[in-house]
């Protein structure tokens, strides 16, 4: 009996090892998990990055100059670990500037974000020089959700319901790296969630680039609200968490559904970016500080225990001390719990890169440090309010010994002792103390 081409391909890869490195957002993490499943199904054995694998896949990010540098350094690190390894570079930095990686020693293949789905086929293609497969992602009109049966050793799984963005904020390169906004069908999402539930995952996080716009491109159109209602009604999922949602896409009915839900985590992650109206206008953000304040207060009124995370950029071109003070004042006033702060990073090709009055990097970083200190204070205050209460946590995988870490529904880290068999499971813990942003608890018991 003659082996099929698929069997031959699998046989040729059966002895090979692969390692992954992922930078950036949960969308990248989901896509790394999908690529890993492709390669495992083709016969590869996964090992850690520093073990000297024969194939190393680097999934890059290009949101900031720092992540660009980290991506290039990962290629050099892979070469130091195994000079004979074959390096594949993909992700957003590879999408917008593939030649940077094609010119680095050791890189065999550079692929775009859309080409991640064809990784195995591209690996088997013969090439005498560095192969570059990066298509015009703005021409992609549909999203296809790759099926996943597991999630790369994690206790909480991600499902990518949407990709791309049409907002074109003045500082952001992502619409060029991810393409137009496009949604996976509700049927695909429900099937993926059911598969992960069957695989024993207690929590699923809905992720994408712009999930608040989910479903608007489908026929007939649908919405994020309708999708999460269907997940609650049509699956046996225990915990559902929303990824980042724009403030203009958090209507009252979405807040009310989260507040009434038995499975949706009380956790909103909302990009603010600036708390000054003039800066927001220069950024191309379509709301003002008054609107943002009202949305956050509406969430807090409906969900007193909710985690409310906020993204902020410091040092945007032209940002004065007075404008930065307005951002500080708004954040000090609001009941937010997690601040994710980034100094402005000039992205070539975006309008903000050529705006006048660029703020010196040292000023941007100093402002970011001030906001991070405020964020630490707010998170500590939020965490301390749970001492003496019982919380349900999903125990993270990995780690050594009996020290376990769990994540609560309202996105707090909880440290406690317990057997390794609890990893990946949902447990109840009694909160006994707060150590900075971490909670401590007594031994957990399975739900």
* Residue spans in the chain of domains classed CATH 2.40.50.140: 390-446
Q: Indicate if the pLDDT at residue 119 is higher than 90.
A: yes
CA 148 – CA 33 distance, rounded (Å): 8
Of all residues in the chain, what percent carry a pLDDT higher than 70? 95
Lowest model confidence (mean pLDDT) among 4-13, 185-194, 312-321, 389-398: 4-13
pTM of the model: 0.93
Q: Indicate if the pLDDT at residue 400 is higher than 70.
A: no
Token couple for 415: 């440290």
Mean pLDDT, the chain, as a whole number?
93
pLDDT at residue 153, rounded to an integer: 76
Beta pairing partners, 271: 311
- Average pLDDT of the residues in 302-311: 98
Of all residues in the chain, what percent carry a pLDDT higher than 90? 87
Q: Please determine, looking at this structure, whether the domain spanning 390-446 carries the CATH number 2.40.50.140.
A: yes
Q: Which fold has domain 139-265?
A: Transcription Regulator spoIIAA (3.30.750)
> Order of strands, edge to edge, in the sheet holding 203-207?
156-160, 203-207, 239-242
* Residue spans in the chain of domains classed CATH 3.30.750.200: 270-385
CA distances from 214 to 147, 235, 362 (A): 19, 19, 38
CA 138 – CA 155 distance, rounded (Å): 33
CB 435 within 8 A of CB 411: no
Beta pairing partners, 313: 342
Q: Please determine, looking at this structure, whether the domain spanning 270-385 carries the CATH number 3.30.390.30.
A: no
CATH number at 5-135: 3.40.50.2300
CA 199 – CA 5 distance, rounded (Å): 30
* 238-255 pLDDT, tens digit each: 999 999 999 999 999 999
**Burial of 382 per CB tally in 10 Å (0-12, 13-18, 19+):** buried
CB 328 within 8 A of CB 372: no
Closest CA to 63 of 364, 349, 345, 362: 345
DSSP characters over 97-140: -HHHHHTSTTEEEEE-TGGGGGHHHHHHS--SS-EEE---GGG-
Give the pLDDT band (50/70/90) at residue 397: confident
Q: Indicate if the pLDDT at residue 7 is higher than 80.
A: no
pLDDT at residue 2, rounded to an integer: 39
**CB count in 10 Å sphere of residue 79:** 17
Closest CA to 434 of 395, 374, 377, 392: 377
CA 37 – CA 46 distance, rounded (Å): 10
* 202-242 pLDDT, tens digit each: 999 999 999 999 999 999 999 999 999 999 999 999 999 99
CA 334 – CA 348 distance, rounded (Å): 34
Closest CA to 229 of 271, 189, 183: 189
CA distances from 44 to 11, 22, 113, 199, 277 (A): 10, 18, 21, 21, 52
* Residue spans in the chain of domains classed CATH 3.30.750.210: 139-265
CA 162 – CA 205 distance, rounded (Å): 12
Closest CA to 266 of 234, 242, 235: 242
* Residue spans in the chain of domains classed CATH 3.40.50.2300: 5-135
* 35-88 pLDDT, tens digit each: 999 999 999 999 999 999 999 999 999 999 999 999 999 999 999 999 999 999
pLDDT at residue 401, rounded to an integer: 67
């Amino acid at each position: 009996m003659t082996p099929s081409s698929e069997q031959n391909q699998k046989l040729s890869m059966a002895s090979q090892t692969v390692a992954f490195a992922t930078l950036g957002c949960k969308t990248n993490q989901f896509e790394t998990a999908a690529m890993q499943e492709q390669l495992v199904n083709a016969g590869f054995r996964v090992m850690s990055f520093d073990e000297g694998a024969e194939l190393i896949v680097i999934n890059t990010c290009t949101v900031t100059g720092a992540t660009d540098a980290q991506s290039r350094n990962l290629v050099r690190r892979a070469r130091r670990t195994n000079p004979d390894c074959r390096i594949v570079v993909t992700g957003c930095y590879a999408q917008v500037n593939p030649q940077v990686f094609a010119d680095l020693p050791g890189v065999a293949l550079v692929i775009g974000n859309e080409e991640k789905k064809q990784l195995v086929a591209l690996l088997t293609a013969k090439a005498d020089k560095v192969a570059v497969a990066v298509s015009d992602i703005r021409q992609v009109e549909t999203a296809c959700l790759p099926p996943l049966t597991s999630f790369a050793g994690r206790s909480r799984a991600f499902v990518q319901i949407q990709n791309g963005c049409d907002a074109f904020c003045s500082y952001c390169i992502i619409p060029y790296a991810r393409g137009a906004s496009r949604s996976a069908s509700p049927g695909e999402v429900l099937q993926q969630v059911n598969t992960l539930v069957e695989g024993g995952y207690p929590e699923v996080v809905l992720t994408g680039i712009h999930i608040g716009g989910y479903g608007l491109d489908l026929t007939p159109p649908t919405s994020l609200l309708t999708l999460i209602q269907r997940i609650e009604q049509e699956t046996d999922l225990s915990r559902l968490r929303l990824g980042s949602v724009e403030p203009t896409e958090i209507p009252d009915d979405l807040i009310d559904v989260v507040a009434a839900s038995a499975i949706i985590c009380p956790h909103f992650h909302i990009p603010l970016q600036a708390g000054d109206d003039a800066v927001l206008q220069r950024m191309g953000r379509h709301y003002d500080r008054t609107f943002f304040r009202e949305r956050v207060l509406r969430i807090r009124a409906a969900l007193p225990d909710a985690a409310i995370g906020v993204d902020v950029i410091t040092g945007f071109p032209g940002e004065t001390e007075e404008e930065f003070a307005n951002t500080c004042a708004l954040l000090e006033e609001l009941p937010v719990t997690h601040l994710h702060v980034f100094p402005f990073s000039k992205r070539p090709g975006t309008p903000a890169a050529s705006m006048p009055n660029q703020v010196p990097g040292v000023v941007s970083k100093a402002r970011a440090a001030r906001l991070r200190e405020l964020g630490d204070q707010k998170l500590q205050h939020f965490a301390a309010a749970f001492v003496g209460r019982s919380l349900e946590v999903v125990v993270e995988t990995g780690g050594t010994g009996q020290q376990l870490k769990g994540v609560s529904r309202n996105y707090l880290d909880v440290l406690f002792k317990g057997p390794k068999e609890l990893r990946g499971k949902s447990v109840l813990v009694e909160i006994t103390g707060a150590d900075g942003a971490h909670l401590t608890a007594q031994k957990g018991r399975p739900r």
